[in-house]
A and B are shown apart, each in its own frame.
Chain A
C-alpha cells in the first residue's frame, strides 16, 4: 500500500486553492522532498496530508484512507519557531506528547511509553537533556526533540516542515542521519526545504512546487536549472558562470 497517493489534487483554505495539480505517489521507505520558494504551498501541502487543510479537488489517500480519516496516523514535525520557547515543559514531556494519542484519556503512561520516549531521545542524541526545559535548548536541539516526539508515536508516514531552518550543522547532520535510519526501516518521509543541497543529498523523489506542482521525480531530473527557473519564475537568475541563483522575494 502506498503511504501517500495524490492524483490531480488541489488544496487550500476557504475554497481558495493555494496549491493545484499535485500528483504524487510515495511508497513506504521513500523520501520525498518538497522544494519551492516561500509561499509556494509547501506547508499547506504537508497540512493537507495531515488532514488539517482540506483537499478541494482530486483524489487523495494517506496510508490508504482519506486524509481527514487518517488524521493522527501520520507523524508531524512542525517548524521550531512556531513554538513558545518560554513554555514550562521539559524535553521528556514534549517527547511524551507523541504517545498521548496511544495512551488515551484515562490511563497513566506505562513503562512501554516511557521506554519509547527514552529510545526516541537516544536516537536523536539528546538522552542527556531529557530533564531540561525545552526552551533552554538550542534551535537545532529543539528540532531534534520534535523529531523524537514524532518518532515516539512510531508513524509509518512522517512529515517535516522546514526541519533545517535555524538549525546548526551538528543538528542538521543528526537529523539527516535519523531520517535515513527511519526510511531504511520503512517509514515514508515527506519534508520541505529551501536547501537544494540537502534536497539532493536526501531525496528519492523531489516535488517542485510553486502554487502548482511543476515537476516530480528523481533529484537529477527535477533539480535542474531549467526546471527550477520554471518553478521559481523570475526569481531564478542565470549567472555568467553558467550556474543559477535563486533569489526569493
Chain B
C-alpha cells in the first residue's frame, strides 16, 4: 500500500520549488519511519503481547457492553479483586490459570447470591467481600520472599512475558466467553432493560445474573496475567462507556469497544517500546494501554455533547414535550371548590373526581 505512494511522490516534481517538500514527505513513508510502527512487533515477545491484547479486545468489547447496560461496573471491580487470592493460590501451587478459574467461578456464584433480588444493601456486602478476598490474597502472597515483585505481577500483569501457551489459554477462554455471550445475549439484554418484564416473560433472573457474572469472571481470568487484577477492570468498563458516546446501537458499541481496546493495545505497546528503547523511560506496557483507553474516553466526551446538540429536530421536539407534558384533557367537569383543607400538592395530582 505504501510503496506506490512513495513512488508517486518520488517522481520528478512539476515545480522546482516543490522538490524539498515532496522529498521530505516521501521520506516520511520510507522504510525507517514505517518501521517505527511495525518493527517493534517483529520482536517475538512484542508480537505475543499484541496477540494477547487482540484476543482480549475481541471479548472485552462485547462483554463491556453488557457490564455497561447492567451497570455492573462495581460488581466487575469486585470480581477482579476477589479473583486475586485464587491467582495467588494458583501461583503457589504452580497452576495459576486453574487457581484463577476456580476463584472466579466461586466468586461469581457468591456475588450473584449476594446481590440476588436486591435483598441486602448490594454495595456494602460486595465491598466487604471485595476487601476480605483481596486481603487474603495479600496475606498469602506476603509469605513468599519475592513478595513485592510477585504482588506487582498479580496486580498489574506482565503483558510482555506472555507465553504461547498462555495465548492458547486466552484464546480458548475467549471462545467460551463469546459463545456464552452469543447464547445469552437476547435474554441478558431483556433482563438489563426491563427485569420485571423479562421475569414475566419467563426468564429466570437469578440464572441470567449468574450467567453474566460468570462471563465477566472468565474475562478476568483471561486478562489477569496480561494486565493484572487491578487494570483488567478498565478493559471491562471503559470500552463500552467510551463507545456509548459515539453510538446508540449495542452492536456498534461492541465493535467500537473491541476496536478501541485493540487500538489502545497496539498504541500502548508501541509507546512503551519507544519510550524504553529510544528515550530510556520505563513505561509499563499494561498501564500504557489502560491510560490510552482512558484518554480515548476523555477525548470522546465532547463527541457525545456534539451528538446531543445535533439531535434530530424530532428528538428535540420530544425532549421539549417530555419537559412540558401536555395537560390531560378534563374528561369530567371539576367539582366546585372543596370546603375541606387543600390537599397536599401530590394528593392534588392524584385525586380523581366522581359524580355520584
Q: Is the CB of A103 within 8 A of B351?
A: no
Per the CB 8 Å criterion, the residue count for chain A at the interface is: 59
C-alpha spacing A221/B101, complex, angstroms: 65
Interface residues of B in 172-209 (CB under 8 A from A): 183-184, 186-187, 189-190, 192-194, 196-203
Digitize B316-329: 1 where CB-to-A-CB distance is under 8 Å, 0 elsewhere: 00100110011011
CB-defined contacts of A153 to chain B, threshold 8 Å: 201
- Closest Cβ–Cβ distance, residue A195 to chain B (whole Å): 7
Which residue of chain B is the closest to A198 with respect to CB atoms?
Answer: B331
Binding-face segment, B22-30, B134-142, B156-164, B337-345: B337-345
C-alpha spacing A7/B311, complex, angstroms: 53
Q: Is the CB of B200 within 8 A of A246?
A: no
Digitize A174-210: 1 where CB-to-B-CB distance is under 8 Å, 0 elsewhere: 0000000000000000000011110000000000000
Q: A82-B194, A89-B193 are in contact. Are A38 and B335 (CB under 8 A)?
A: no
Which single member of A72, A106, A244 contacts B183 (CB below 8 Å)? A106
Binding-face segment, A15-23, A25-33, A133-141: A133-141
CB-defined contacts of A244 to chain B, threshold 8 Å: 353-354, 356
Q: Is the CB of A89 within 8 A of B189?
A: yes
| Residue A117 CB within 8 A of the other chain | no
Q: Is the CB of A245 within 8 A of B335?
A: yes
Which single member of B187, B322, B340 contacts A138 (CB below 8 Å)? B322
- Closest Cβ–Cβ distance, residue A1 to chain B (whole Å): 20
Q: Is the CB of B200 within 8 A of A71?
A: yes
Digitize A78-100: 1 where CB-to-B-CB distance is under 8 Å, 0 elsewhere: 10001110011110011001101
Which single member of B194, B339, B353 contacts A243 (CB below 8 Å)? B353
Q: Is the CB of B336 within 8 A of A239?
A: yes
Per the CB 8 Å criterion, the residue count for chain B at the interface is: 50
- Closest Cβ–Cβ distance, residue A26 to chain B (whole Å): 17
Which single member of B202, B244, B350 contacts A88 (CB below 8 Å)? B244
Q: Is the CB of B328 within 8 A of A71?
A: no
C-alpha spacing A82/B199, complex, angstroms: 14
Q: Is the CB of A197 within 8 A of B200?
A: no
CB-defined contacts of A52 to chain B, threshold 8 Å: 196, 199-200
CB-defined contacts of A97 to chain B, threshold 8 Å: 186, 189-190, 193-194, 197-198, 201
Q: A103-B186, A168-B325, A239-B335 are in contact. Are A88 and B352 (CB under 8 A)?
A: no
Tell me which of B69, B200, B335 has the highest count of chain A C-beta atoms within 10 A of its own C-beta.
B200
| Residue A248 CB within 8 A of the other chain | yes
Which residue of chain A is the closest to B336 with respect to CB atoms?
Answer: A241
Q: Is the CB of A89 within 8 A of B354?
A: no
| Residue A112 CB within 8 A of the other chain | no
- Closest Cβ–Cβ distance, residue A121 to chain B (whole Å): 17
Q: Is the CB of A89 within 8 A of B318?
A: no
Interface residues of B in 53-88 (CB under 8 A from A): 69
| Residue B123 CB within 8 A of the other chain | no
Which residue of chain A is the closest to B244 with respect to CB atoms?
Answer: A88
Q: Is the CB of B69 within 8 A of A246?
A: no
C-alpha spacing A162/B2, complex, angstroms: 64
Q: Is the CB of A196 within 8 A of B354?
A: yes
Q: Given contacts A38-B350, A245-B351, could you give 9 more A-B pairs where the C-beta distance is less than 8 Å?
A: A97-B193, A101-B202, A101-B203, A105-B183, A105-B187, A133-B248, A195-B352, A243-B356, A248-B347
**A-B pairs with beta carbons under 8 Å apart, 29 shown:** A47-B196, A50-B200, A71-B199, A71-B200, A71-B202, A72-B202, A76-B201, A82-B194, A83-B193, A97-B201, A100-B186, A100-B201, A100-B203, A101-B203, A132-B314, A133-B248, A149-B197, A166-B325, A223-B354, A225-B356, A228-B354, A237-B338, A243-B353, A245-B335, A245-B351, A246-B352, A246-B353, A247-B343, A249-B347
